[in-house]
Structure 1
Amino acid sequence: MDSITHIALGACMGEAFAGKKLGKKAMLWGALAQSIPDIDFTASLWMDTSSGLLAHRGFTHSFLFCALITPLLALLAERLHRPHNISLRKWLLFFGAVIFIHIFIDAFNNYGVGWFEPFSKERISFNAIYVADPFFSVWSGVACIALIWLKRNNPLRKRWWQAGIGFSAVYLLYCIFNKVQINSDVKEIFKTQNITYTRYFTTPAPLQNWLWYVVAGDDKGYYVGFRSLFDSRKAINFQYFLRNDTLLKSIEDHEDLQKLIRFSQQFYTVEQWKDTLVFNDLRFGQIIGWQNPHAKFVFYYYLQHPEDNRLVVQRGRFQGWNDKTLISLLQRIRGN
C-alpha cells in the first residue's frame, strides 16, 4: 500500500498496543514499524532503474527481514521507555505483528513482494487491491487523525483504533471476495470466447475494487480487457497485443532486459517507438484503458535509452486524467 496508509495503520496498531501506557508515543512506534520495510526506496540512490525495481519490496519485505528487525526495535523501545511494565516479549510481539502486517497487505497489490528472499526470488502478489485504494485507506486515516486530536485519557480512543483497524480488515476481506467472483466470471468468459492462455491475472483498475483489469495469453501475446462486478453480460471486449519477442534478438543478453523480464513475471510486450525499443509490463494496466482499448501501458521502459527511465512505474499511472476520465471510469464501473 501507499506510505500514508502504512503510517496511519501503524499508528492505530501502536495505540492499540500501548496507548494508555505510552500515550501518543505508542502511535509513533507503530507508524515507524509499519514504515520500516519501505526503507528499500533508498536503493534508487545507487542502483540503476531495473535493479531498483527488483530491490523494491524485495528483502525488506521478507519474513527473514521481519525476524531480524523485530528484536532490534523491541530492544530499542524497551530500553528507551524504562522504567515501564511492558515486557520484552510484548514488545517483540508488537513489532513483529506490525511489520508482518505491512509485508502481508503489500502482497495483495500487483507489484509483488519477496516474502522468501534471499532464499527464493519468487514474488508473491495476490492482485486483490489497488496500491492506493482510498476505500481501504480512509478508515485508518480518519482514525489516526482522531487519535492525534483526542487527549490521552479520552475513552473514545479505543473505539477509534478499533474502527481504523477493523474496517480496513473488513474492506480487505471484501476485496478478496470480489477477486474470487471476478476470477470465476473471467474463467467462464475465457471458455465462452475461446480465449486460450497459459497464464492470466486479474487486478483492480485504479482507486477502487469494482472494475477489474484482465490479462490472459502466452508467449505469443496477450488479451487485455476490463470486467466490472456490475457487468450483466458475460463477455469482455478484449484487445490483443503481440508480445513481439523477435524485436529483442539484438539485445536479448542485456542484463537490463533480463531483470525486466524477471520483474514482469512474463507479462510483457515489446514495441518499436521511433528509434528505441519499449518494454511494457502489462501488470500495471493501461493508461485509461477502459476508455481507450488501444491505450499505452502504464509501465513502459526505454530499452535503448535507460537514462530516461527514472519513474517507470509512476509516470503513466494517471497520465492524461481529467474530469472526463473520472466520469468514464464511474460509467464503466456501473457495468455494461
Structure 2
Amino acid sequence: MDSLTQLALGAAVSVAVMGRRTAVWKAALWGGVVGTLPDLDALIDHGDAVLNMVRHRAETHALFYHVLAAFPLAWGVAWLHGERHQWRRWWLALWLVLVTHALLDAFTVYGTQLLLPFTDTAYGIGSVFIIDPAYTLPLLLGVGLALAWKRSGLRANALGLLASTLYLGWSVGAQGWVTHHARQSLAASGLPAEQVLVTPAPLTTLLWRVVSVDDTHYHEGYYAWADRGRAIQFRSYPRGTEALGAYASHPHIPRIARFSDGFYRLRWVDGELWLADLRMGQEPYYVFEFNLGPPVPPGSEPSAAVRVGQRVDSASGLPWLWARLQGQEVPPLGEVLAQPRPGPRPPSASMPNPIETSLPSPSPARLP
C-alpha cells in the first residue's frame, strides 16, 4: 500500500496496543514511523530494473524477521522515553505494526514475500488497490480523534481499525463473486477460464479488472457493480510467446513469469524485447514493463533490464474510471486515448469529454 496508508495503519495499531500505558502522541508517532520502515527497501538499487522489482517486499516484509527487528526497536523507544519497565508492551506494539504492514501489502496484487527465509514465494491476494481512500480514511480519522481527544479518543481509533478491517473483508468477498462471474462470462465467450486474475480498479472496489491468459493470448475485461450482472466483454491480445525461442536463456523471463504467476506479455520494439507484468496497469499501459535488449548468444551475459513502464495520467484516466463505475459501456481506456484529439475549437466552445467523444465500442475480440 502507499506510504500514507501504512503510516496511518502503524499509528492506529500502536495506539490501540499501547492504550493508556503511554501518551497517545508517542504511540502514534512511533507506530507511524515503524509502519513506513519496511518500504525503505525500495531505495535499494540492485543494478537491474527487474531485480529491483522482484526483490522489493522481501526481507523487510518477512514475518520471521519482524519478530527479531521488533526487539531493538522496542528497546530503543522504551529507553528514549524512560519507559523501560514496559519495553515488552512496546515490543508487542511495534511487532504488530510491522506484521500488519506486511499483511496489508499481501492484500494487493504486487506480491509480498512473507515467509522468507523459508521460501521466496510472493503472496498477493489482489483484492485492494495500492491506494484506496475507503480503507485509509477510517484509519486517519480514528488516529486524528485519538490525538485530539487524548485518552477518550481510544475508542474512535479502535472503530477506525475495525472499519478498515471490515473493508478488507468486503474486498475479498467482492473479488470472489467477480471471479465467479468472470469465469462464467469467459466460458460463454469461448475463452479460457482456467487462469484468471481479478483485481480492483484504481481507488475503488466497485470496479474490477479481469485478465485471463492462455498459451498465446491474454483477454481483458471490466466489471462494475453498476453492471448489475451483465456479462463481461473481453478483448484479446497476443502474448508474444513466439519470442521465447530467441530468449530461452534469459534469466528475467522465468523470473517475471514466476513473480507474476504467469501473467506476463512479450513484444518486439525496434528489435528489442519488452517484457510486461500484466497484473498492474491496463492495456496497453503497464507500470512494470522492461526492455530486455536485443537477443544475446547462449552463454553470453545479457544487458541489464531497463524499466519502460507507463502510467495513465489522472486527467485522462479519471473521466474513464467515473464513466465505467456508473456502468456505462465505454471502450477500454487504451482505445479512448489512441483516438485522435479534436482539432482547434473556438474559444467559446468547451472541450469535449474524451469518454463522450469516443467511438462506439467494437465487438468483443475472440480467438478463432
**Would the TM-score normalized by the shorter structure come out above 0.5?**
yes
Aligned CA distance change for structure 1 residues 298 and 77 (closer, same or farther; 3 Å): closer
In structure 2, how many angstroms separate the alpha carbons of the residues matched to 1:229 and 1:244?
33
Aligned CA distance change for structure 1 residues 83 and 168 (closer, same or farther; 3 Å): closer
Correspondence 1:49 to 2:49: yes
In structure 2, how many angstroms separate the alpha carbons of the residues matched to 1:198 and 1:83?
55
Aligned CA distance change for structure 1 residues 170 and 237 (closer, same or farther; 3 Å): same
Residues 188-232 of structure 1: CA deviation (Å, up to 9, x unaligned): 222222222441110001111111111112222211111112213
Count of matched residue pairs: 319
**TM-score, normalization by structure 2:** 0.79
Gaps of 5+ in 2: 295-302, 329-368
SS of aligned partner of 2:164: helix
For the 8 Å contact 2:49–2:290, the answer to whether it is kept is no
Residues 83-120 of structure 1: CA deviation (Å, up to 9, x unaligned): 465252x2332222221111111111010111122221
Answer with 227-236 or 93-102: which moved more. Answer: 227-236
Say which of 314, 320, 332 aligns to 1:321.
314
Residues 287-329 of structure 1: CA deviation (Å, up to 9, x unaligned): xx5xxxxx3434321121877835x5xx523x2431x632321
Report the counterpart of residue 14 of structure 1 in structure 2. Answer: 14
For the 8 Å contact 1:73–1:95, the answer to whether it is kept is yes
**TM-score, normalization by structure 1:** 0.86
Name which one, 1 or 2, has greater alpha-carbon Rg. 2
Report the counterpart of residue 115 of structure 2 in structure 1. Answer: 116
For the 8 Å contact 2:18–2:93, the answer to whether it is kept is no
For the 8 Å contact 1:9–1:164, the answer to whether it is kept is no
Correspondence 1:232 to 2:225: no
In structure 2, how many angstroms separate the alpha carbons of the residues matched to 1:145 and 1:41?
28
Aligned CA distance change for structure 1 residues 16 and 43 (closer, same or farther; 3 Å): same
In structure 2, how many angstroms separate the alpha carbons of the residues matched to 1:31 and 1:12?
8
Report the counterpart of residue 292 of structure 1 in structure 2. Answer: none
Aligned CA distance change for structure 1 residues 40 and 179 (closer, same or farther; 3 Å): same
For the 8 Å contact 1:37–1:60, the answer to whether it is kept is yes
For the 8 Å contact 2:146–2:156, the answer to whether it is kept is yes
Residues 12-34 of structure 1: CA deviation (Å, up to 9, x unaligned): 22222335343211112211232
| Counterpart amino acid of residue 255 in structure 2 | K
In structure 2, how many angstroms separate the alpha carbons of the residues matched to 1:66 and 1:121?
16
Gaps of 5+ in 1: 290-294
Say which of 169, 173, 177 aligns to 1:173.
169
The RMSD of aligned alpha carbons is: 2.4
For the 8 Å contact 2:75–2:87, the answer to whether it is kept is no
For the 8 Å contact 2:198–2:209, the answer to whether it is kept is yes
In structure 2, how many angstroms separate the alpha carbons of the residues matched to 1:160 and 1:114?
33
Aligned CA distance change for structure 1 residues 225 and 256 (closer, same or farther; 3 Å): same
In structure 1, how many angstroms separate the alpha carbons of the residues matched to 2:167 and 2:13?
17
Correspondence 1:79 to 2:82: no
In structure 2, how many angstroms separate the alpha carbons of the residues matched to 1:297 and 1:91?
41
- Residue 146 of structure 1: CA displacement? 4.0
